[in-house]
C-alpha cells in the first residue's frame, strides 16, 4: 500500500488528497471506467496515445490487473460513493513500468497529478524497477519529472519517454520539498525560528 503523502492544497469536501492503491474490490473497476470515460478526446489522447473510444476504455479497464500493477487514485467523496478525480496506472513490466496519468479537468492545477506521479515512482521503485515509460505527448508528466530532478530519455521518433528512477525512493527529502507550497515552507521556517528563540 502506498502511504499517504504530505499535504498540499485544500482537499474537496468529504475527500482528501491522499493517494490510494486500489485493490480491485467492490466498485473499483466501475470507478476507473467512469473516470476514464469522463475524459474528452484530447485528454484520452494524452493518456493513451490515441483517442480511445468508450468500448476501448471498457476493454482496457476489464484487462487491468489490480493484483500485479499499481492502480493509484485520488478521490472526492467516500470510497463507496466517491469519484476518482485523479488516476495513475503503473503497468509493471520489468525492467521498467509503463505509466499513464489522468486528472479530471475541474480538478487540475491543485497538485494531484504530481502526487500521483510521485506515488507511481514509489510504486515502480518499490518493485525494484529502474524506470517509468510514459507518452511523450504528455508534457505535464515530463515537466513534473524534470522539476523533481529526474533524468528523461527521449528516443528519436518514439512516442514514449523513459524516466530514470534512480534516487526516487531514497531521496524522500527532495520529493517532500517538491510537494510543499511556498506557504508551507514559510510556516515550517517560522515554527523552527520560534523553537530556536
DSSP string, 3-44: PPPPP-SPPPTT-----EE--S-TTHHHHHHHHHHTS-HHHH
pLDDT tens for each residue of 106-124: 888 888 888 898 888 888 8
- Is-above-0.85 flag for pTM? no
Domains with residue ranges and CATH for the chain: 20-196 (3.40.630.30)
Tell me which of 37-41, 155-159, 166-170, 175-179 is least confident: 175-179
Percent over 70 (pLDDT), the chain = 68
Mean pLDDT score across all residues of the chain: 75
C-alpha cell at 85: 478525480
Residue 126 pLDDT exceeds 90: no
* Cβ atoms within 10 Å, residue 166: 12
d(CA 144, CA 178): 9
The pLDDT of residue 108 is 87
Residue 197 pLDDT exceeds 70: no
d(CA 70, CA 23): 9
CA angle 46, 81, 41 (to 5 degrees): 20
pLDDT tens for each residue of 164-192: 776 544 344 444 444 343 344 444 555 55
Instruction: Note whether 61 and 73 are within 8 A (CB).
Output: no
Task: Name residue, grid cell 519517454.
Answer: 161
d(CA 79, CA 69): 20
Higher pLDDT: 196 or 36? It is 36
Amino acid at each position: 500500500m502506498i502511504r499517504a503523502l504530505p499535504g498540499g492544497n485544500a482537499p474537496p469536501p468529504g475527500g482528501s488528497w491522499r493517494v490510494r492503491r486500489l485493490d480491485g474490490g467492490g466498485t473499483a473497476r466501475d470507478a476507473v471506467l467512469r473516470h476514464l470515460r469522463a475524459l474528452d478526446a484530447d485528454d484520452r489522447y494524452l493518456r493513451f496515445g490515441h483517442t480511445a473510444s468508450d468500448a476501448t476504455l471498457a476493454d482496457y479497464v476489464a484487462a487491468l490487473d489490480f493484483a500485479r500493477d499499481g492502480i493509484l487514485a485520488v478521490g472526492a467523496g467516500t470510497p463507496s460513493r466517491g469519484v476518482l478525480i485523479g488516476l495513475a496506472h503503473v503497468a509493471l513490466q520489468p525492467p521498467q513500468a509503463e505509466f499513464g496519468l489522468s486528472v479530471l479537468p475541474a480538478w487540475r492545477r491543485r497538485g494531484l497529478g504530481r502526487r500521483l506521479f510521485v506515488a507511481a515512482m514509489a510504486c515502480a521503485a518499490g518493485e525494484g524497477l529502474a524506470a517509468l515509460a510514459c507518452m511523450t505527448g504528455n508534457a505535464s508528466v515530463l515537466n513534473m519529472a524534470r522539476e523533481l530532478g529526474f533524468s528523461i530519455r527521449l528516443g528519436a521518433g518514439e512516442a514514449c519517454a523513459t524516466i530514470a528512477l534512480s534516487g526516487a525512493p531514497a531521496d524522500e527529502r527532495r520529493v517532500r520539498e517538491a510537494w510543499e507550497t511556498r506557504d508551507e515552507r514559510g510556516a515550517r521556517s517560522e515554527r523552527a525560528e520560534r523553537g530556536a528563540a
